[in-house]
Amino acid sequence: MTALLTTNLGSIPLLGRGKVRDLYAVDDALLMVATDRISAFDHVLATGIPGKGKILTQISLFWFDLLANLVPNHLIETDAANFPAVLQPYRDQLEGRSMLVTRAAMFPVECVARGYLAGSGWKEYQATGTVCGIPLPSGLLDGSRLPEPVFTPATKSQDGAHDENISFAATEALLGATDAAELKRLTLALYNRAAQHAESCGIILADTKFEFGKTSEGIILADEVLTPDSSRFWEQSAWKPGGAQPSFDKQFVRDYLESIHWNKQAPAPGLPEEVAERTQAKYLEAFRRLTGRHLNL
């Protein structure tokens, strides 16, 4: 199986290519296509993970359905067979990895929920004892569970650089107090529901990020949801604070790139087949455990 790194939909207007998704305009809607590209250290690598875009899309669709009673989402149609006629010639590129979605004015913040201390949150805590200005108890370790989940927003990077954690006060200044409060409420409600489900599957949802937009109907959940790209999923039975946790994400990729001492500057290298296969297996395991289903790639 080969990785789909770039889509080509002929005369369909291409609005942009992100690290993973290609975005097209289809009448009044948007078409999001998840490719098999994979990024690490803020660079898209030269090789992809075969089937990754399908795995991400199908996990997102599972969560959109599970969380639908908490907040509306942007989905219009997810079955490529039911897409507009203009898209039918490209079914081979779209099957299983694309979503026709509502256009929305996207909020310029990443809505991050953390139930455990890791990543940039751990680094900030080591320096200041806080995360996004929220004081945390002393003595926590890398991987510690927090007393309660916290909302730690970040500004969206427009140039591919790192997103920057910001305080809730800064979020209010950006969005207004009313929208900031609602995004905080929704983010924590979604995290708590998802973490409860993941725990029932033997998986810890350490943290995740959501994207929200606004339409004439109000606030909606958009983009991808609770995938191994946007979340830290850890093996519950192996959880032990004090260092890196066994996870369901692209850690194999990061470990390989560190082992070859890549300078983390473009151009990004490719991956050996074994690293790509092990990464694909982790993503598939996350899908199977969380959804209870098997996915044929």
Secondary structure of the chain as H, E, C letters: CCCCCCCCCCCCCEEEECCCEEEEEECCEEEEEECCCCEECCEECCCCCCCHHHHHHHHHHHHHHHCCCCCCECEEECCHHHCCHHHHHHHHHHCCCEEEEECCEECCEEEEEEEECCHHHHHHHHHHCEECCEECCCCCCCCCEEEEEEECCEECCCCCCCCEECCHHHHHHHHCHHHHHHHHHHHHHHHHHHHHHHHHCCEEEEEEEEEEEEECCEEEEECCCCCCCCEEEEEHHHCCCCCCCCECCCHHHHHHHHHCCCCCCCCCCCCCHHHHHHHHHHHHHHHHHHHCCCCCC
pLDDT at res. 159 = 57
Question: pLDDT at residue 268 above 60?
Answer: yes
Whether residue 286 lies inside any domain: the answer is no
pLDDT at res. 1 = 80
pLDDT above 70 coverage of the chain, percent: 98
Nearest to 210 by CA among 197, 193, 201: 193
pLDDT at res. 216 = 95
Q: Do 99 and 199 lie in a common domain?
A: no
Number of domains within the chain? 2
Angstrom distance (rounded) from CA 195 to CA 204: 7
- CATH number of domain containing 158: 3.30.470.20
- pTM of the predicted structure, to 2 decimals: 0.94
- CATH number of domain containing 42: 3.30.200.20
Q: Do 112 and 227 lie in a common domain?
A: yes
pLDDT at res. 29 = 98
Q: Do 233 and 126 lie in a common domain?
A: yes
Q: Do 109 and 199 lie in a common domain?
A: yes
- In this structure, what token pair is assigned to residue 26? 């289809």
Q: Do 125 and 42 lie in a common domain?
A: no
pLDDT at res. 162 = 65
Q: Do 30 and 45 lie in a common domain?
A: yes
Q: Do 90 and 117 lie in a common domain?
A: no
- In this structure, what token pair is assigned to residue 198? 């993941």
Whether residue 257 lies inside any domain: the answer is no
Nearest to 198 by CA among 225, 224, 165, 219: 225
From 79, 103, 127, the end of a domain falls on 103
Long-range CB contacts (< 8 A, 24+ apart) of 10-17? 10/89, 10/90, 12/86, 12/87, 12/90
Residue pLDDT, tens place only, 150-181 = 999 999 765 555 678 999 999 999 999 999 99
Place of tokens 């201390």: 117
pLDDT at res. 49 = 96
- Residue 97 — φ and ψ, nearest 5°? -125, 15
Q: What is the mean pLDDT of residues 204-221?
A: 97
Q: Do 62 and 136 lie in a common domain?
A: no
Q: Do 111 and 65 lie in a common domain?
A: no
pLDDT at res. 163 = 78
Q: Do 111 and 179 lie in a common domain?
A: yes
Whether residue 252 lies inside any domain: the answer is no
pLDDT at res. 251 = 81
Whether residue 271 lies inside any domain: the answer is no
pLDDT at res. 21 = 97
Range of the domain at 199: 105-238
From 40, 74, 103, the end of a domain falls on 103
CB 36 within 8 A of CB 46: no
Angstrom distance (rounded) from CA 297 to CA 284: 10
Q: Do 90 and 13 lie in a common domain?
A: yes
Tell me the CA end-to-end span of the chain in Å, nearest whole number: 8
